[in-house]
Structures are given as C-alpha cells and as structure tokens.
Structure 1
Amino acid sequence: MTSNDWLDEIQWNMSGLVPVIAQEASSNDILMFAWMNREALIKTIVLGYAVYFSRSRNALWFKGEVSGHVQHVREVRLDCDKDVILLKIEQVSGIACHTGRHSCFFQKFEGVVNNGHWVSVDPILKDPDSIYL
C-alpha cells in the first residue's frame, strides 16, 4: 500500500470533491455541510481542525480563520458507499453558522405542503456583523 491508498478509497465526485457533514461530538448535533478536496482532507487530518473547500471561492476554507469558530476534529469517518465524510468535531465558541447560530440547520419546515414555509427555530448567539468585520 502506498501512503495515499486511503485517499483513493474515497469516491470523489467529478469535480474532485466529497461532501462532508460536521457533527458535534458532545451533542451529536449536525452543525453544517461542506465539501472537501484531497488537499482539504489531508490538511484536516494533519492539523486536527476542519479545512474545507469553498466552491464559490475555489480555494481552501480554514473553518474559523476569520470568525475564530474553529472546529477541532475528534474523528473522521467514511460512509458505507465511501462517498460522504463525517467529521466528529468540537465546535469552538458553540457557533458553526455564519449567521451566528449554533447550527446551519436552523430553519424548520412548517405548514401544509402547498402553503408551507420555513421558520427560524434556533436563536442567533452572536450578531454576524460582529463576527465578520
């Protein structure tokens, strides 16, 4: 086995990316979804904190680099189809979302199918304008 065989086992998409779910290790809350390329995954494992790939910027995204809301990685898991990565993380400051909330999944669907709507159900813990100056 070569040193990169573990990377070759992952089913990367046509753009060389794999979806990543960040789950808080202590609460099991799903905090966010992002993408990684090979470089981001290697850096995540070597550094011990989450590094993602930003598709909009076409660059590595060191989670918390600007906000300080770093994700310390406790475990890296690969699903049964080898096409989704789960990071079990410790979220610094308890804020994972750029909206200042604990989780990016703060909107809940309510109502009847034809008249349904999304409702924000989680509080803003910190004003995003004070996070991203």
Structure 2
Amino acid sequence: MTERAGDRPAQFAPRVSVEAVEEGPLLAPKFNAEGFIPVVTTDARSGEVLMMGVMTAEALLRTIETGEAHYWSRSRQCLWHKGATSGLAQKVIQIRVDDDQDAIWLRVEVEHGASCHVGYRSCFYRSVPIGHLGDTQVRLTFEEIEKVFDPRIVYGDAPNPTQL
C-alpha cells in the first residue's frame, strides 16, 4: 500500500471532536488501522447493490477527483480503478458518507451494464433463504440467471482475484 494508516491527506479534515465529525461541514473519514474504509456501491437509478469493497485515502481522493470509482484491491494489494481492465467503469453520480464518517456509499452508473468480475451485473447475484435451517447446507438462489458478459473473453488469462 502506498500510504500508511496514520497518514492523513490535506484534503481530509482532522477528526477533532464527535460534534465536528457528525455535524460539521468537512470530510473527515475514519480509516481503520490497515488504512481502509468500507464502501458500498449501488446503481444510481435502481438502487441495486452492485458491490462492497474498501478504499484507502488515495482511492477516495482519486474517486472524488476523477468521478470514477477507485478502490483498494485486497486480493491484488494495489489501487484499483474499476474498469481499467474490463472496461466496466463506474461513473460516480453521488458520494455519501455515514454519520460518523467511517463508511462510504457510492451511487454509480455502470458502463456496459455489469460490475462483477464473474460476469453478472451485480456482485450480489445470489440470495440466502430466510427461515428454518434444518440439517442440510444452505442453498443459495440465483437472482441473476444470465451473465452480462463472459469473463473469459473480457479478462483472458488474467488471474481470478477471488482468494480462498
């Protein structure tokens, strides 16, 4: 990672009081000890959750500056401009921060209609049934039946970022 957890870019206000963080007019994001802040990304039109990731200070600043989503890839251990490889860029329509400024919400428009490297529109393409569990393993339900693109064509021989 290019920055350390203690580093605070000049563009972010210091976190001097609860009142300033919760009621003040300045962005004072709280990154965890590893330098990450969680981010939920949704489709700006439908509200559908597309993905969940993390940002570093640099990723958040680049997102603000460029209007396109940047994240920290935990699997690749590097700054990740969403769509740089796949062409599935996320144009940021709105950035929101929660009350204590320790989580980010991006509302985006997705180029080419997909956000998930597996080929589905959303990274949240399966649902978990609610109710009695019984003695069997939980079976997921596919909410998206067809992929928007074929990952083998888009990514070729690039390694899959999913880690076990």
Q: Output the TM-score relative to the length of structure 1.
A: 0.91
Which residue is 1:72 aligned to? 91
Post-superposition Cα deviations, 1:11-47, rounded to whole Å, max 9, x if no partner, equal 2111010000111111111100111000000001111
Given candidates 88, 111, 118, the residue that maps to 2:140 is 118
The residue matched to 1:89 in structure 2 has which SS?
strand
| Corresponding pairs, count | 131
How far residue 4 of structure 1 moved from its aligned partner, in angstroms, is: 2.7
How far residue 119 of structure 1 moved from its aligned partner, in angstroms, is: 2.4
How far residue 3 of structure 1 moved from its aligned partner, in angstroms, is: 3.6
Please state if 1:129 is matched with 2:152: yes
Please state if 1:22 is matched with 2:45: no
Q: Which has the higher strand share?
A: 1
The amino acid that maps onto 1:35 is V
Which residue is 1:105 aligned to? 124
Q: Is the 8 A contact 2:42 2:108 kept in 1?
A: yes
The residue matched to 1:31 in structure 2 has which SS?
strand
How far residue 100 of structure 1 moved from its aligned partner, in angstroms, is: 0.9
Q: What RMSD over aligned residues (CA atoms) do the two structures have, in Å?
A: 1.5
The amino acid that maps onto 2:123 is C
The residue matched to 1:117 in structure 2 has which SS?
coil
Which residue is 1:4 aligned to? 12
Which residue is 2:5 aligned to? none
Q: Output the TM-score relative to the length of structure 2.
A: 0.75
% identical aligned pairs:
37
The residue matched to 2:128 in structure 1 has which SS?
strand
Q: Is the 8 A contact 2:12 2:29 kept in 1?
A: no
In terms of Rg, which structure is larger?
A: 2
Given candidates 50, 60, 81, the residue that maps to 1:31 is 50
How far apart in 2 are the matches of 1:3 and 1:37? Answer: 13
How far residue 75 of structure 1 moved from its aligned partner, in angstroms, is: 0.9
How far apart in 2 are the matches of 1:118 and 1:81? Answer: 34
Q: Is the 8 A contact 2:86 2:154 kept in 1?
A: yes
How far apart in 2 are the matches of 1:121 and 1:25? Answer: 19
How far residue 131 of structure 1 moved from its aligned partner, in angstroms, is: 1.3
How far apart in 1 are the matches of 2:11 and 2:81? Answer: 24
